[in-house]
Amino acid sequence: MGEQLQKVRGRGPSLSPETLARRVTFGIRIAAIRTLAGLSQAQLSTTLGVKRALLARWEQGRLPVCSESILDLAAALGVTVPFLMDVIPTTARVLAVVESEVKAA
């Protein structure tokens, strides 16, 4: 992931490490969900009506994804926007929080 962050830093305006990490993490999430859905970049980009290179840049964290495209991505991947954006706590994350609370008590 460090190599991806370095590539992103080399282009365009300087971004904070937090912004870069969010972009790269979201891009990895898009790629993972796409792969689990059994879609290639070419197939998903055709469904979305965008160039494959643009989808690749989103997945690499090189470009932000606009809100309209997030809606289209979620629909094309068959997931909800909150799931795509990772705002729904996963079971593993919930368990980790519960474990840390129990250990702290």
Output the domain CATH number for residue 69. 1.10.260.40
* Residue 5 one-letter amino acid: L
Whole-number Å distance between alpha carbons of 3 and 102: 37
Q: Residue 91's pLDDT is what?
A: 62
* pTM of the predicted protein model: 0.68
Half-sphere exposure of 84 (CA within 13 A, CB side): 21
Q: What is the pLDDT of residue 26?
A: 87
Q: How many domains does the chain fold into?
A: 1
Give per-residue pLDDT as tens, 16-70.
777 767 777 888 889 988 998 899 999 999 999 999 999 999 999 889 999 999 9
Q: What is the DSSP letter of 40?
A: -
The pLDDT score that the predictor gives to residue 11 is 53
Residue range(s) defining the domain that contains residue 57: 2-104
Position of tokens 């460090």?
A: 2
Give residue 89's pLDDT: 61
pLDDT at 65: 93
